[in-house]
Amino acid sequence: TATIIDGKAFAATVREQVAQHVARLKADHGITPGLAVVLVGEDPASQVYVRSKGTQTTEVGMNSYEHKLPADTSEAELLALIERLNRDLSVHGILVQLPLPAHLDSDLVINAIDPDKDVDGFHISNVGLLGTGQKSMVPCTPLGCLMMLREHHGSLSGLNAVVVGRSNIVGKPMAQLLLGDSCTVTIAHSRSRDIEALCRNADILIAAVGRPEMIDASWIKPGATVIDVGINRIPHPDQPGKSKLVGDVAYDSAASVAGAITPVPGGVGPMTIACLLANTLTACSRAHGLPEPDGLTA
Ligand code: NAD
C-alpha cells in the first residue's frame, strides 16, 4: 500500500525553519515579521481559519495583527484599511480572508493589496509573475503541495501531472508551479471528457475539486503520487448526527493503488498555513533587501 505523505509532520518542520529564520532576523537586524489578517463578517469556517493563522503566526515569533470587521463593512472602509496596512512598515504580509460578503468585490479588494505584501499570491501582478516564471508571492495551498512533492520525489522533471480543478486559488497556480518544475501538465475540470482516463495517465495526481471521495482506485495509475486538496464535511457514516472531514479522494481505495498519498485531514491543510508563514517571512526578507530563506519559496 501507499506511503503516507504526512503533511502535519512536514508542516511542523516548515514552521520550525520559519521560527529559526525569524529568530535570526530579530537577533541580527532587530526586525520582526508581521502578518495582518482581515476578516469581514462572521463566517464560522473563516473564523476558525483566522484564529488558527493568528496562533501559528505568534508561535513562530512573528507579530499577528487581526482586523475583524462587521459583515456590513463598506467597500470604501475595507479599502481604507488595506491602504493603511500597505503603508504600515511593521506589516509585511496582508491576507484578506475569503470569501468576502457578497456586497464586496473580492477582485477589487485583493488587487488593492500591495503585491509585495500579498502573501496569498492572489493579486493579478503575482498571478502574472508566476505565469511568466518570475519571482512572486505564490499561493499557499499549491506551494504546500509543491513542497511535499519535491520532498517525496526530489526532481519532478518530465513527470505527467494531472490537476483536477481549475480555480484561481488552487488548480491554476498548481499547474503553473508544476510546469515550473518541468512536469507535463494537464488541467482537468468539470467539462473534461473521459476524466478518469486522463487521471490514469498521471504520475502525480492533484485533486482540488470539492467533491467528497470522487476519485477512487480506478482513476489512479499504480504507483502514482496522489495529493488530495479537498476538504469536505460529510455526515459521519457510523455516528448519527456527527460529521467528518473527507477529501476529494476515496482514501482507502486510492491508497491500495497509489505509491504515495496525502491524508485528509493531516495532509495539504497544515501545509497551507505553514506556507502562509513562509510567505510572510519571504515578504519581510524582500522588504528589507535581505536574502530569502532557502527551501521555503517556489
Ligand atoms: P472551486 O469550487 O473554486 O473549484 C473547484 C474546481 O473543480 C472547478 O474548477 C471545477 O471545474 C472543478 N470541478 C467541479 N466539479 C467537477 C467534476 N465533477 N469533475 C471534475 N472537476 C470538477 O474550489 P477550490 O477553491 O479550488 O477548492 C477545491 C477544494 O479544495 C475544496 O474542497 C476546498 O475546500 C479545498 N481547499 C483546501 C485547501 C487546503 O488548505 N487544504 C485550500 C483551498 C481549498
Ligand 1 atom closest to residue 273's alpha carbon, by position in its atom list = 40
Report which DSSP code applies to 116: G
Q: Residue 145 is which amino acid? A: C
Bridge partners of residue 193, in order along the sequence: none
Residue 272: per-residue pLDDT = 98
Residue 92: per-residue pLDDT = 98
Q: Is 88 a catalytic residue?
A: no
In terms of Cα–Cα distance, which of 151, 146, 150, 121 is closest to 136?
Answer: 121
Report which DSSP code applies to 99: S
Q: Is 56 a catalytic residue?
A: no
Residue 214: per-residue pLDDT = 98
Residue 4 — pLDDT band, cuts 50, 70, 90? very high
Strands (E), the chain: 3-4, 34-40, 63-69, 93-96, 160-164, 184-188, 204-207, 225-228, 232-235, 243-246, 260-261
Residue 93: per-residue pLDDT = 98
Mean residue pLDDT across the chain: 98
Q: How many CB atoms within 10 Å of residue 164?
A: 29
Residue 85: per-residue pLDDT = 98
| Burial class, 75, CB count within 10 angstroms (exposed 0-12 / middle 13-18 / buried 19+) | middle
Distance from residue 40's CA to the centre of ligand 1 (Å)? 22
What is the ipTM metric for this complex?
0.98
Q: Is 97 a catalytic residue?
A: yes
Contact residues of ligand 1, CB 6 A cut-off = 141, 164-167, 169-171, 188-190, 195, 208-211, 229-232, 268-269, 272
**233 has binding-site annotation:** no
**31 has binding-site annotation:** no
Domains and CATH numbers, the chain: 29-118 (3.40.50.10860), 140-269 (3.40.50.720)
- Phi first, then psi, for residue 179 (nearest 5°) are -60, -45
CA 75, 81, 85 angle in degrees (round to 5)?
140
Q: How many CB atoms within 10 Å of residue 239?
A: 9
Residue 134 — pLDDT band, cuts 50, 70, 90? very high
User: What tens digit of pLDDT does each residue of 237-247 get?
Assistant: 999 999 999 99
Q: Which of 17, 56, 97, 176 is the catalytic position? A: 97
User: What tens digit of pLDDT does each residue of 74-132 get?
Assistant: 999 999 999 999 999 999 999 999 999 999 999 999 999 999 999 999 999 999 999 99
Distance from residue 166's CA to the centre of ligand 1 (Å)? 8
Residue nearest to atom 24 of ligand 1 (CA): 167
User: What tens digit of pLDDT does each residue of 158-204 get?
Assistant: 999 999 999 999 999 999 999 999 999 999 999 999 999 999 999 99
Distance from residue 28's CA to the centre of ligand 1 (Å)? 42
Residue 65 — pLDDT band, cuts 50, 70, 90? very high
Distance from residue 293's CA to the centre of ligand 1 (Å)? 30
